[in-house]
Amino acid sequence: MNVFIVFAHPEPNSLNGALKDLAVLTLNENGHEVKVSDLYSMGFKATLDRDDFLKMENKDRLMPMLEQFNASKTDGFSSDIKAEMEKIELADLIIFQFPVWYETVPALLKAWFERVLAHGFAHNILEGKVFDRGFLKGKKAMLSFTGGSDKDSYYNNIPNNDKTKLLPPVSLVLRFTGMKVMDAFAIFNAVTLSEDDAEKAFEEYRKLLNNI
Ligand SMILES: Cc1cc2nc3c(=O)[nH]c(=O)nc-3n(C[C@H](O)[C@H](O)[C@H](O)COP(=O)(O)O)c2cc1C
């Protein structure tokens, strides 16, 4: 299987960095091909703007949706976006590894969603090519995140403790593109985690990855 890990944490020696490293190691041991985009170390651009497009259809006014549709028809995305799109195209499974910051993904990962899961590439809302008809149908996505709060605060708004719907706006974006969202892997109370609990969580993640 081809696995693409999108890693969004500024510190390699963080809990999130360790989870990313564990995933690379375990997936490789199981014979999977793994690609990683380490968004901070790559200096991934955090703004959707005119530089995303090689040639603008409307130079007078930036209309992001229009330009994304145009770029997807004309191979007109900037090279950094194209490189990410190529990794998505090759992937069977995309793992997003991040800490929860203010109830959602870090801004840099949100920027990746905005710039890379582009109109015309990941979906086409004007033609109803979303959800089951989204262009990324057939691919799987998994959120792997850490949060400082406890488990209950995450499951409060999720019907039936459905792990595929944790962080609702984020899982919705992924489903919107057609991807099948798998159960999330999450470490709660991440700031106060004891060494024992960290070890247990790592073991749980290793098992999950071994059976992916
Ligand atoms: C800017 C910021 C916002 C945060 N917001 C949340 C939050 O909304 N919910 C939560 O559970 N933890 C929150 N946290 C705690 C982080 O999720 C926690 O520090 C992180 O998961 C620990 O992982 P790390 O050691 O890899 O950084 C926040 C931390 C920061 C720095």
So what CATH class is 2-210?
A: alpha beta
The proportion of the chain whose per-residue pLDDT surpasses 70, expressed as a percent, equals 100
Residue 157 reports pLDDT greater than 90: no
Q: Supply the angle between the helices 195-210 and 15-29 in degrees, to the nearest 10.
A: 30
Q: How far is the CA of 163 from the centre of ligand 1 (A)?
A: 19
Name the percent of the chain lying above pLDDT 90.
98
- Ligand 1 mean position, distance from CA 11 (Å): 13
Q: Is the full-model pTM beyond 0.95? A: yes
- pLDDT in the model for residue 207: 98
What is the CA(101)–ligand 1 centre distance, in A? Answer: 5
The reported pLDDT for the residue numbered 111 is 98
- In whole angstroms, give the CA distance from residue 26 to residue 210: 7
Domain segments of the chain as ranges:
2-210
pLDDT higher than threshold 90 for residue 39: yes
pLDDT at 163: 97
Give the model's pLDDT for residue 61: 98
Which residue has its alpha carbon closest to ligand 1 atom 2? 101
The pLDDT value given to residue 97: 99
Q: Is the pLDDT of residue 170 over 90?
A: yes
Which own/partner pairs from 200-208 qualify as long-range (CB within 8 Å, at least 24 positions apart)? 202/18, 202/19, 202/22, 205/19, 205/22, 205/23, 205/144, 206/22, 206/26
For atom 29 of ligand 1, the residue with the nearest CA is 101
Cα angle 29, 100, 12 (rounded to 5 degrees) comes to 50
Residue among 102, 110, 157 to mutate when testing ligand 1 (max atoms within 8 A of CB): 102
Cβ–ligand 1 contact at 190 (below 6 Å): yes
| Residue 106 scores a pLDDT above 90 | yes
Cβ-count burial of 185 within 10 angstroms (0-12 exposed, 13-18 middle, 19+ buried)? buried
